[in-house]
Structure 1
């Protein structure tokens, strides 16, 4: 869970939570965790690789997210938020593996390294294998907004009504007296034309908050494993 004092570490004076300067600081935190993970004992080599993979994925998503925001590509921004949330949910499987009879985090991480999909594991308390909905339900206690972000962002992952509705949201239209809409111009432009100044602020806050969740989970794992 992210506490106020942890957020205060990256929010500078006069800044609003979500500014890209804070994304840069969050990246620096993850880089320090990477350095810490290099000092983990040799018997944790697969968990170390798991941590590295999660951090690098976050860096890759973060770069693409910034490019999407700067180009006002709201659809892609939301897709990347969903993928970042997926990283956090799947990272926590290290903890759930330790809590599963007949499984431990190191052997679990080794199996993932060798190619077994996380969705093909069954963890303690799960009704079946680790599907996305179960992974998200497990991390919902970390933040009250996770379920809503998951639901809204999931529509952006697979082609759905989300993409169809965005065509109309981006088009010029007027409301007729009978309540119907008259379409004046339909645009295929991927740029988000929303004039709401908070539109991209909320997206930047969501991505940053998820990155901080990952940093907390990874830092705690290093601490548990004896990383100095």
Structure 2
């Protein structure tokens, strides 16, 4: 069973998610919280695999809560951000804080369930349509911290990085490159190690912040 925690200050939304997820044979809602601070308290006592996290909440917002959750053990729960379009900048900040991905709150039920399963399996979820809107509006405004150089990447690793940045899954990348999916995972693992990145979501952030991909969605160079 995938143990899920719902963190949202709107009780009706939590009730709706609880009903939808409770109907799945492999998902169980084991905890809820109305803000980030309460979520951290609950996580001390309840084992959770995936946290569905709102962004703007009282007491402690989803960005700070995500930073604290992701800053713990690597075996801890994965955070999946759910947001509305007008709060995308907060969702982006949450990904930089360590969230495994983000979706809009009006995501189709099937996509939400698939995202939870993917995150639980260790993948990251970056919805391509949402990503385009996010980065087209905010990427150019993000502060450029010192980033590891992509010069150490091999041509194939760079190719995999760019495909991940476009929102392609490992299966789609494998098909496009005509290699085994295990080979794609190996290349992606090396990209993560060389660029000192945590997960797939941070690969996407890196690609845009470093200029390898620009907000017009075209690779640079």
TM-score (norm 2): 0.27
Larger fraction in strand: 2
Higher RCO, 1 or 2 (CA under 8 Å, sep at least 6)? 1
Q: Higher helix fraction: Structure 1 or Structure 2? A: 1
